Structure 1
């Protein structure tokens, strides 16, 4: 399968896209009950949303890591997702970009975009990347109050797939059916997507918009000022 180097793949309908977050039960249970995030969720912190189910599984260790034992599938409007991408700044500058302009945009933007290596079910890195979207400030407010149309606890499904994986089964048919997500050309440029191109020739696996060149991709979910992983 020839997958573009940076491509958004997701479960989506004509009006919504599904993103994933993992939380402690103290946050997850009230959110599922209320169908929206409520305290102790903290609005003032950056929160990261991930359209890739398998990247979420890599991050939360199939819902086994502390503070990440409940996985939520959050349906948001495609209009809201587009707003986030329109107002995004890459977490690392593209090659040849004006450093001062990138830093100015990074400070001003309520949304950060990072591309990290996609993972297979056993957490092996794949040769293409998946998007993570970090929301702060106005973007968090819009996410919480306008974009969310549903929240589903999929932890049971996560455990079922993980058990099948540990039993040596092929879990392909048990995974969410993600498809390439259509992006207008202007949004693709804004977030650094490469919908019709392979991985840049000669680029290191951890290059711009993913992680430090020559090193592992940075995990943007780490840090005390961020919510959701």
Structure 2
């Protein structure tokens, strides 16, 4: 049985794969340069990274949701970077028992937000366990763009193929194409 909160991801000995969905302009620039380029990528906004392929597909509708999420990128980042993000995080919602001032101080001291949302199946039905979403801002975005990224791959075609298999009812074919995601032993998570 999968624990309610467990990071599951595709990873190697040195990197962990996360996913993001972007417009053509941002995706093309990132693929050309091997990192995100500002502009069109904004260094001043929170950017959410997701280790779960299916949660990314739910969010981006297999890359068909809208023009701002039409390109699905698989970004390989260092374990050190991923763990730094977790170690410098706080929950995206105010913890129980924390007053407004304490909550403001916690957010100001944490360039990373952690959110646990229901994982999704191939039909985007919520599952009983959760997938982690990691919001990077400020120093975390700079580190992500300038230090952590080791490779960027366009997986839009894979997303479209799996989405088409699901729509056709070929669920075994779709499942066989999914990235293999295993439990990831990480630093303390908010």
Q: Which residue of 2 aligns with 1:122?
A: 123
Superposition RMSD on alpha carbons, in Å? 1.2
Q: Which residue of 2 aligns with 1:179?
A: 182
Instruction: Give the distance between the partners of 1:167 and 1:17, measured in 2 at CA.
Output: 31
Instruction: Give the distance between the partners of 2:25 and 2:94, measured in 1 at CA.
Output: 36
Greater helix fraction, Structure 1 or Structure 2: 2
Q: Which residue of 1 aligns with 2:11?
A: 12
Q: Which residue of 2 aligns with 1:85?
A: 86
After TM superposition, list the pairs within 5 Å mapping 1:1-229 onto structure 2: 2-38=1-37, 39-66=39-66, 67-95=68-96, 97-99=97-99, 100-170=101-171, 171-184=174-187, 187-188=188-189, 191=190
Secondary structure, aligned partner of 1:62:
helix
Runs of 4+ in structure 1 off by over 2 angstroms are 97-103
1:33 positional shift: 1.2
Secondary structure, aligned partner of 2:62:
coil
Instruction: Give the distance between the partners of 1:140 and 1:49, measured in 2 at CA.
Output: 11
Instruction: Give the distance between the partners of 1:183 and 1:46, measured in 2 at CA.
Output: 22
Secondary structure, aligned partner of 2:104:
helix
Paired residues in the alignment total: 185
TM-score (structure 2 length as normaliser): 0.94
Instruction: Give the distance between the partners of 2:106 and 2:2, measured in 1 at CA.
Output: 29
Structure 2, unaligned runs of 5 or more: none
Instruction: Give the distance between the partners of 1:159 and 1:169, measured in 2 at CA.
Output: 14
Residue by residue, what CA displacement relative to the aligned partner does 1:144-190 show, whole Å, maximum 9, x if unpaired?
00000000000011111111111111221110000001124xx14xx
Residue by residue, what CA displacement relative to the aligned partner does 1:5-58 show, whole Å, maximum 9, x if unpaired?
111000011110000000010110111111111121111111000000000000
Instruction: Give the distance between the partners of 2:98 and 2:47, measured in 1 at CA.
Output: 27
